[in-house]
Chains A and B, each alone.
Chain A
């Protein structure tokens, strides 16, 4: 027997992580009035509507009247048949009618399925207590590593770094990390090796550099070979051959906090090329 896909063109995959939000319907007439089409620019299927402040009305809709569904993502709230913003930022809309506010924050609030970098604080029973920069400490069981069993435990020291995924993250429970996927494979997760460099950036910078359409990390890789791990909690870990190279990479990434992508690209190339020239001179001396 074959599965038949729903014929409704507005069908949206609810298992998609970004879209497990409230299912809502909207009134298309209200949308026309409220969204400013002047400012809109479409970028890879994501439409930037406008800058919103908390309390701004995004659109009106009545779930009983309209059959069409919309999704409300982070930074929006539905109350009294009106969707309002709760955070300042850019209001965005995807092709599948997911509305969300892209805001700039430094404080991490854990979200399920996000990849984060944490530090081991202590061992507590069968768990490690991990600091991920949120309001509460996260836990990780020593069994949730690849190839770990009761006999072959994963031993970690206090202060070790760990790259994992959030299995549990909601406001009422303490976050829980895992270092394996549903097939018990590590897929890049696990304790980070010694000799790297960890630093913090704003959350939007972390999201920006892991975007597959962004070539910034490739620009840096023209100069050195390096390994980078980016956590969605704004922590970035880099490892290169020399200490100086790691610091140079860190400075390049920190440029994104204050510059646009083009400016940062240009400056990064300049800084890195002068850095590698300087180093080669030293080697010949």
Chain B
């Protein structure tokens, strides 16, 4: 498993932000909201969620739009949108450096920035990517080179309570047996990610002031 690192409150002007890295993939996420909403996006019973993803080089193309929609649908399930009707929550993700794990890094960065902003959520969430090599071994959080060699790459976004799947993304073919094996491996790895989240937030809140 690759090394995870993160820095909370990386940007001073947004409501919440996080710089997150898995191995050599780095993403910066920032959250603004619940705040003012454009008239045509205004929903009478819930908050409007917008995720925008920009790559490190070049313009945002169809691949980035697909990534955005995966992240939007994941985050939508988790945040308590009905608590803030007629508002908007904006999540902006900037890819800083890429080594094949863009999806899981940006999902994790989005989660930590939402935690930093204090947006109300049902639970935390974490994404883990794994790949199946031609010799049928499962690699957790592979590098771009390892992914190129592999048969299939799968990413699972899991929630922090029961490790239920919030969304799954797969490239290549997996049979039912291998798919379940991948899921199980990702669920085990996700526990470490959630522990990492907890450490990051304990660090943030341990240094805060208590009045005696």
Q: Is A24 an interface residue (CB 8 A)?
A: no
Q: Mark B191-212, 1 if CB is under 8 A from A, else 0.
A: 0000001100110111111111
Pick the contact of A105: B35, B85, B118 (CB < 8 A): B118
Pick the contact of A89: B34, B118, B121 (CB < 8 A): B118
B contact face: mostly helix, strand, loop, or mixed: loop
**Interface members, chain A 139-193 (any B CB < 8 Å):** 171-172
Q: Is B80 an interface residue (CB 8 A)?
A: yes
For residue B202, which residues in chain A have a CB less than 8 angstroms away from its CB? Answer: 51
Instruction: Please state if B118 and A213 are interface contacts (CB–CB under 8 Å).
Output: no
Pick the contact of A107: B33, B115, B204, B210 (CB < 8 A): B33
A-B contact count (CB 8 A): 100
Q: Which residue of B lies closest to A212 (CB)?
A: B211
For residue B123, which residues in chain A have a CB less than 8 angstroms away from its CB? Answer: 54-55
Instruction: Please state if B34 and A135 are interface contacts (CB–CB under 8 Å).
Output: yes
Pick the contact of A44: B86, B88, B211 (CB < 8 A): B211
Instruction: Please state if B210 and A53 are interface contacts (CB–CB under 8 Å).
Output: no
For residue B84, which residues in chain A have a CB less than 8 angstroms away from its CB? Answer: 109, 135, 171
Q: Which residue of B lies closest to A75 (CB)?
A: B120
Q: How far is the CA of A134 from the CA of B208 in the complex (A)?
A: 25
Instruction: Please state if B87 and A54 are interface contacts (CB–CB under 8 Å).
Output: no
Pick the contact of A136: B86, B118, B206 (CB < 8 A): B86
Q: Is A48 an interface residue (CB 8 A)?
A: yes
Q: How far is the CA of A50 from the CA of B208 in the complex (A)?
A: 13
Q: Which residue of B lies closest to A41 (CB)?
A: B210
Instruction: Please state if B34 and A107 are interface contacts (CB–CB under 8 Å).
Output: yes
For residue A51, which residues in chain B have a CB less than 8 angstroms away from its CB? Answer: 198, 201-202, 205-206
Q: How far is the CA of A171 from the CA of B84 in the complex (A)?
A: 6
Pick the contact of B83: A103, A105, A136, A171 (CB < 8 A): A171
Instruction: Please state if B117 and A256 are interface contacts (CB–CB under 8 Å).
Output: no
Q: Mark B20-53, 1 if CB is under 8 A from A, else 0.
A: 0000000000001111110000000000000000
**Interface members, chain A 50-105 (any B CB < 8 Å):** 51, 53-55, 75, 77, 84, 86-90, 103-105
For residue B204, which residues in chain A have a CB less than 8 angstroms away from its CB? Answer: 104
Instruction: Please state if B159 and A55 are interface contacts (CB–CB under 8 Å).
Output: yes
For residue A1, which residues in chain B have a CB less than 8 angstroms away from its CB? Answer: none
Instruction: Please state if A103 and B211 are interface contacts (CB–CB under 8 Å).
Output: no
**Interface members, chain B 153-168 (any A CB < 8 Å):** 159-161
Pick the contact of A54: B15, B16, B121 (CB < 8 A): B121
For residue A87, which residues in chain B have a CB less than 8 angstroms away from its CB? Answer: 118-121
Q: Is B122 an interface residue (CB 8 A)?
A: yes
Q: How far is the CA of A135 from the CA of B209 in the complex (A)?
A: 28
CB A144 to nearest CB in B, in angstroms, measures 24
Q: Is A241 an interface residue (CB 8 A)?
A: no
Instruction: Please state if A54 and B124 are interface contacts (CB–CB under 8 Å).
Output: yes
Instruction: Please state if A53 and B201 are interface contacts (CB–CB under 8 Å).
Output: yes
Instruction: Please state if B122 and A214 are interface contacts (CB–CB under 8 Å).
Output: no
The 3 closest A-B pairs by CB, nearest first: A55-B123, A105-B118, A54-B121
Residue ranges of A at the interface with B (Cβ–Cβ < 8 Å): 41, 43-44, 48, 51, 53-55, 75, 77, 84, 86-90, 103-107, 109, 135-136, 171-172, 204, 208, 211, 213-214, 256, 260-261
